[in-house]
């Protein structure tokens, strides 16, 4: 019979009032109370998450013997990662980066000798810094990054749903008043960030805060004679409820708005995020590079010479008219409403194959910003992984086999670490289930599973069900056991909140958590 010890422990945590994303650490112990499956020096670890910007801090702690952000025993594991989290990280990469994405919006503007300024708060800085540049970390010549620090004196942003949106708007208005700024790109993060927290009051406050600053910034653009393009990278809070009334804190497959303010023309109907970059370039009087397959959204544009442009990305603003599902419709948003009422606009596809994702999947910030900047469809890491699982090459992946063969050769355990969710922007439990099948094929004798919970886009209390599926497959294959679980809030940080990462590290390495004794089912 399969052991359901860990899934039952998660259900007990639900009964204590804990939520998946912030769930306190749970650790399996043996009959003598000793933690099972702790990571030790020289062990092999496959971190099967994608994205990476939230995975790199924990990865550093596990691989750097001289790690100094918090005290560690100085161990170093042998790490394989699903994708490249950071080129400086000592890790084998299962799905290395594709060739660089050139001729992006930002590169084209830079090559033309135009000045580009980006403004965002630090919580979303990587999206306008890295993904918008075609996964290039270094700024282009003439590119200025004005990053406003996100609040660090709160545990989570439901405590401060306005975040730093006013300060971001202040910085944007300052740059709009500078005639040397040819292209200004601004991100308002609140709807996406706060929308992932199951707190209706906080989400409504976040929407209202964004609406007020959209009004300020668009008005400032008009006064400065700057054409304003207002859009989003994906949807979120416009489908905050499932039809049955349960809360959905994930991203959505909704279209997003595209509004033209001050362009002296109309916009064509339809399109996708890949059409944003060609539109910006046309307004700036720049030719679209051949690599861009997107098309300008302008209709009847006469030119009138190069224009200064502001691209405002209202992160997470999807379109949905159903007031029963949309928190945007349940909030007073006079400025967002006036954009859609008074200015030329259309709806853009921001999910699925149009942004390089598998058909029918929701959008996310990475894919959204990448495609806004690239002006063409770029196959996502998720799509490449899906292809590999479909054609069987996942089972022959060099990085996976390196870790499994190394564990067998060195007499070390293999640890599988990652998100436990059916569909998260950080990956899927399917990646783990398939890895277990590869472990069975390769005869890996000692396999430990460390799950990160976080139900963004999932129904309540699904984490326990997914963990039970993992436990069942382990019993079926005769390989592996779930030995620790923790909320992703602690393990997946990107703001150097090291006290969070330390909690995850203590669980993985030292077994610090609520003990779960062996199940007798």
For every residue of 182-237, DSSP letters joined together read: -EEEEEE-HHHHHHTSS-HHHHHHHHHHHHHHHHHHHHHHHHTT-EEEEE-SSB-G
Q: Is the pLDDT of residue 378 over 80?
A: yes
What percent of the chain is predicted at pLDDT more than 70? 98
- Of 214, 219, 228, nearest to 184 by C-alpha is 228
Interval 416-433 mean pLDDT = 90
Q: What is the pLDDT of residues 194-205, one digit of tens each?
A: 999 989 999 999
Domain covering 105-378 in this structure, CATH number: 3.40.720.10
Interval 460-471 mean pLDDT = 90
Q: Is the pLDDT of residue 521 over 90?
A: no
Residue 78: its H or E element? strand 78-83
pLDDT bracket for residue 74 (50, 70, 90): very high
Q: What is the pLDDT of residue 99?
A: 73
∠ CA 316-318-320, rounded to 5°: 145
Q: Is the pLDDT of residue 519 over 80?
A: no
* Domain range list for the chain: 5-96+383-516, 105-378
pTM equals: 0.73
Domain spanning 5-96+383-516, CATH class: alpha beta
Q: What is the pLDDT of residue 427?
A: 86
Q: What is the pLDDT of residues 8-18, one digit of tens each?
A: 999 999 999 99
- Integer angstrom CA distances of residue 10 from 13, 32, 66, 85, 433: 5, 21, 34, 29, 19
| Dihedral angle sign, alpha carbons of residues 163, 167, 173, 178 | negative
Q: Is the pLDDT of residue 455 over 70?
A: no
Calculate the CA 21 to chain-centre distance. Answer: 14
Interval 274-300 mean pLDDT = 96
Interval 510-515 mean pLDDT = 97
Average pLDDT, the chain: 94
| Dihedral angle sign, alpha carbons of residues 295, 297, 299, 305 | negative
Q: What is the pLDDT of residues 120-131, one digit of tens each?
A: 999 999 999 999
Q: Is the pLDDT of residue 1 over 80?
A: no
Q: What is the DSSP letter of 96?
A: P
Q: What is the pLDDT of residues 333-377, one digit of tens each?
A: 999 999 999 999 999 999 999 999 888 889 999 999 999 999 999
Q: What is the pLDDT of residue 117?
A: 98
Distance CA 435, CA 228 (A): 47
Q: What is the pLDDT of residues 471-496, one digit of tens each?
A: 999 999 999 999 999 999 999 998 89
pLDDT bracket for residue 49 (50, 70, 90): very high
Interval 313-329 mean pLDDT = 96
Q: What is the pLDDT of residue 520?
A: 53
């Amino acid at each position: 019979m399969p052991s359901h010890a860990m899934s039952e422990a998660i259900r007990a945590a639900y009964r204590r009032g804990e939520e998946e994303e912030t769930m306190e650490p749970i650790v399996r112990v043996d009959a003598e109370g000793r933690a099972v499956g702790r990571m030790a020096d020289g062990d092999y670890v496959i971190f099967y998450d994608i994205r990476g910007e939230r995975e790199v801090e924990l990865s550093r702690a596990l691989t750097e013997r001289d790690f100094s952000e918090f005290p560690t025993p100085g161990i170093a594991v042998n790490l394989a990662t699903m994708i490249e989290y950071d080129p400086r990280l000592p890790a084998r990469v299962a799905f290395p980066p594709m060739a660089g994405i050139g001729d992006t919006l930002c590169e084209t503007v830079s090559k033309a000798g135009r000045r580009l300024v980006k403004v965002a708060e630090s919580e979303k800085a990587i999206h306008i810094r890295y993904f918008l540049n075609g996964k290039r970390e270094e700024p282009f010549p003439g590119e200025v990054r004005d990053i406003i620090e996100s609040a660090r004196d709160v545990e989570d942003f439901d405590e401060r749903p306005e975040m730093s949106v006013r300060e971001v708007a202040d910085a944007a208005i300052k740059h709009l008043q500078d005639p040397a700024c040819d292209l200004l790109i601004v991100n308002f993060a609140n709807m996406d960030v706060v929308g992932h927290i199951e707190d209706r009051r906080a989400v409504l406050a976040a929407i209202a805060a964004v609406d007020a600053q959209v009004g300020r910034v668009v008005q400032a653009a008009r006064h400065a004679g700057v054409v304003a393009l207002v859009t989003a990278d994906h949807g979120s809070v416009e489908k905050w409820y499932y039809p049955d009334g349960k809360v959905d804190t994930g991203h959505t497959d909704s279209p997003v708005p595209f509004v033209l303010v001050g362009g002296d023309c109309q916009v064509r109907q339809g399109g996708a995020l890949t059409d944003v970059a060609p539109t910006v370039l046309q307004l700036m009087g720049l030719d679209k590079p051949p690599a861009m397959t997107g098309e300008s959204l302008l209709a009847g544009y006469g030119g009138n010479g190069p224009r200064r442009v502001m691209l405002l990305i209202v992160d997470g603003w999807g379109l949905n008219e159903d007031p029963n599902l949309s928190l945007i419709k349940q909030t007073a948003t006079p400025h967002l409403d006036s954009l859609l009422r008074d200015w030329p606009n259309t709806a853009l596809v921001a999910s699925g194959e149009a942004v390089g994702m598998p058909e029918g999947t929701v959008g996310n910030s990475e894919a959204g910003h990448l495609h806004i900047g690239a002006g063409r469809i770029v196959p996502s890491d998720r799509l490449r992984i899906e292809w590999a699982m479909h054609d069987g090459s996942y089972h022959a992946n060099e990085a996976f086999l390196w870790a499994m063969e190394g564990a067998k050769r060195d007499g070390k355990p293999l640890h599988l670490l990652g998100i436990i969710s059916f569909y998260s922007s950080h990956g899927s439990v399917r990646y783990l289930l398939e890895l277990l099948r590869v472990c069975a094929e390769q005869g890996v004798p000692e396999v430990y599973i460390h799950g990160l919970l976080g139900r963004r886009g999932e129904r309540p209390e699904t984490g326990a069900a997914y963990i039970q599926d993992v436990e069942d497959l382990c019993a079926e294959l005769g390989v592996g056991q779930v030995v620790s679980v923790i909320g992703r809030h602690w393990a997946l940080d990107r703001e150097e909140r090291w006290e969070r990462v330390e909690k995850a590290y203590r669980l993985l390495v030292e077994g610090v958590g609520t003990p779960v004794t062996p199940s007798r089912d």
